[in-house]
């Protein structure tokens, strides 16, 4: 997909059309625009409320071009999340700038691709998955390895499972660090390292999104396998 840079630095008016509680500290905000808002799955936007500006990855993709979803976790002492969680209601106006970022799939997706994320780092991958599911053009092998604490923290769990069940080249691997369950437990690192050891992909792409410590460790592990730095794309939160 080509990235359109037109008007990405211009603030536009938008409206919060829905707020949904996903977990104790995470909410989904649906943002509605008054005109079409074009973006490439994997990109992010900036939001401005009461002169506070923060960036959030877009967590959806649909043929409806005038709305998008954000998944936002409440940050302790976070200025904008405090406003969004405590002083914002459906119907409120906000200002949005973007889209921005190059955390997107290449035009040629005939490669093995790893999405490795924790927490709300799932957001850009959810957007990419939505798009792939619409166009029915998945990569040769796509692995989504998503780490979080407990099963109740698995964002969009049933929705992503349905995509996996309909797409033979998509593998969804949720990993829980603080709860034993029928799936994988521990941390994301052992899961992608196991796949690399078994599959031995020759020309993979690695997309890492989440908190800095996870990304730093994953990046180093991938480099230790002998892969080039150019095969790793990063989106660091916090």
- Domains annotated for the chain, with CATH where assigned, are 11-100 (2.40.30.10), 112-237 (3.40.50.80)
pLDDT of residue 181: 92
The answer, yes or no, to whether residue 26 has pLDDT greater than 60, is yes
The answer, yes or no, to whether residue 52 has pLDDT greater than 60, is yes
The answer, yes or no, to whether residue 166 has pLDDT greater than 60, is yes
Q: To the nearest whole percent, how much of the chain has pLDDT over 90?
A: 88
Mean pLDDT of the chain: 94
pLDDT of residue 213: 94
How buried is residue 178: exposed, middle or buried, by Cβ count under 10 Å (0-12/13-18/19+)? Answer: exposed
How many Cα atoms occupy the beta-carbon half-sphere of 229 within 13 Å? 1
Q: How confident is the model at residue 156 (pLDDT cuts 50, 70, 90)?
A: very high
How far is C-alpha 62 from the chain's CA centre?
Answer: 15
**What is the spatial distance between Cα 161 and Cα 172, in angstroms, rounded to a whole number?**
7
List of residues 6+ apart from 66 with CB closer than 8 A: 32, 33, 34, 35, 36, 37
Q: How confident is the model at residue 119 (pLDDT cuts 50, 70, 90)?
A: very high
The answer, yes or no, to whether residue 4 has pLDDT greater than 70, is no
pLDDT of residue 101: 96
Q: Give the alpha-carbon dihedral of 43, 211, 78, 42, to 10 degrees.
A: 10
What would the mean pLDDT of 135-147 be, rounded to a whole number? 93
pLDDT of residue 5: 55
The answer, yes or no, to whether residue 1 has pLDDT greater than 60, is no
Helix (H) or strand (E) holding 211: strand 205-211
The answer, yes or no, to whether residue 195 has pLDDT greater than 70, is yes
Q: How confident is the model at residue 139 (pLDDT cuts 50, 70, 90)?
A: confident
What would the mean pLDDT of 15-31 be, rounded to a whole number? 97
pLDDT of residue 7: 66
What would the mean pLDDT of 138-149 be, rounded to a whole number? 95
Model confidence, pTM: 0.94
pLDDT of residue 8: 78
What would the mean pLDDT of 191-202 be, rounded to a whole number? 96
pLDDT of residue 18: 98
């Amino acid at each position: 997909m080509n990235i359109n840079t037109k008007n990405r630095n211009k603030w536009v008016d938008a409206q919060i059309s829905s707020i949904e509680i996903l977990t104790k500290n995470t909410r989904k905000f649906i943002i509605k625009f008054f005109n079409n808002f074009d973006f490439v799955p994997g990109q992010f936007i900036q939001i401005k409320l009461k002169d506070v500006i923060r960036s959030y990855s877009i967590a959806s993709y649909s043929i409806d071009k005038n709305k998008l979803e954000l998944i936002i976790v409440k940050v302790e002492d976070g200025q904008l999340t405090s406003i969004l969680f405590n002083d914002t209601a459906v119907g409120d106006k906000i200002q949005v700038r973007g889209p921005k970022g190059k955390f997107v799939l290449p035009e040629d997706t005939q490669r093995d691709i790893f999405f490795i994320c924790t927490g709300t780092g799932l957001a850009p991958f959810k957007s990419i998955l939505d798009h792939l599911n619409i166009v029915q053009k998945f990569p040769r092998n796509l692995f989504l390895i998503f780490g979080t604490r407990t099963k109740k923290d698995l964002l969009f769990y049933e929705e992503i499972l349905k995509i996996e069940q309909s797409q033979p080249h998509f593998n969804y691997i949720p990993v829980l660090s603080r709860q034993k369950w029928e799936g994988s437990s521990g941390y994301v690192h052992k899961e992608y390292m196991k796949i690399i050891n078994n599959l031995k992909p020759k020309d993979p792409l690695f997309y890492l999104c989440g908190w800095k410590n996870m990304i730093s460790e994953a990046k180093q592990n991938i480099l230790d396998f002998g892969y080039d730095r150019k095969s790793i794309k990063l989106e660091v939160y916090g």
